[in-house]
Chains A and B, each alone.
Chain A
Amino acid sequence: MAEQENMTLIVFSGDLDKALAAFNLANSGASMGMKVDMFFTFWGLSVIEKGGLEKGKKSPMQYMMGLMNRGGADRRKLSKMNMGGMGTHTMKGLMKRFHMLSLADSIALAKEQGVRFLACTTSMAIMGLEEKDFIDAVDEYVGAATYLSLATEAKVNLFI
């Protein structure tokens, strides 16, 4: 067996298409025996949010931001051709027809394959998000130094 290889992905975007690309790579890497760490930051946090409406510790401004950009894998939209949701709906239909995994299924598969999910605590603070706002699949709540220490040990480091 070849030596253990590592990959890290920074998931910065909360767009459906970009998140799908990130999870396709994570799932492929895990299937190739790689240790994969995904660092979710800024809009990327929405991919692993539960997407509830609790106010929590959010300020009124943060709460409004959260309402305008509801979290949750199933609420992600295409970065292009969303067309008020029509484009995203069409893309989801096409993916189903071609037996492709939904974003939520891709997340579940990644977890099953041992991919680690890290959430950026600084972005969480800006958005007023707490640990309880995230899906159980999140392994750790960390900062940039943790990401960088993983990235320096990895041959493949991607920013999506």
Chain B
Amino acid sequence: MQVDKTLDCIGLYCPMPIVKTAQAINSLEPGQVLEVLADDPGIKSDMPAWAGKTGNEFLGFEEESGEIKVWVRKGGG
């Protein structure tokens, strides 16, 4: 997957990964992909919930030894 921007939220807890995601997505064009790195497991449920409410597309996540990578495609394109 082509990632257009990566946001490091390692060590941050709710609500900061979502707050920072909302800020970061503003700098992308519709259709571009934001990758978020996190280690708060709440992100696995929070990111699809956030995307569903904000018109962005949750593309899935991968988890490896406590580090979670989440992808979101900016909507509106």
Contact = CB atoms under 8 A, between A and B. Distances in A.
A32 B49 CA distance: 9
Nearest to A33: B54
Contact of A31 (B11, B19, B52, B75): B19
Interface residues of A, number: 17
A33 to B, nearest CB: 5
B19 A109 contact: yes
B54 A28 contact: no
A24 interface: yes
Interface residues of B, number: 18
B22 A99 contact: no
A113 to B, nearest CB: 7
A129 B18 CA distance: 36
A99 B39 CA distance: 13
Given A2-B54, A27-B15, A33-B22, 16 more contacts: A1-B55, A1-B75, A1-B76, A2-B53, A5-B53, A24-B14, A24-B15, A25-B15, A28-B15, A28-B18, A28-B19, A31-B22, A32-B18, A33-B53, A99-B12, A113-B19
Interface of B: 11-16, 18-19, 21-22, 49-50, 52-55, 75-76
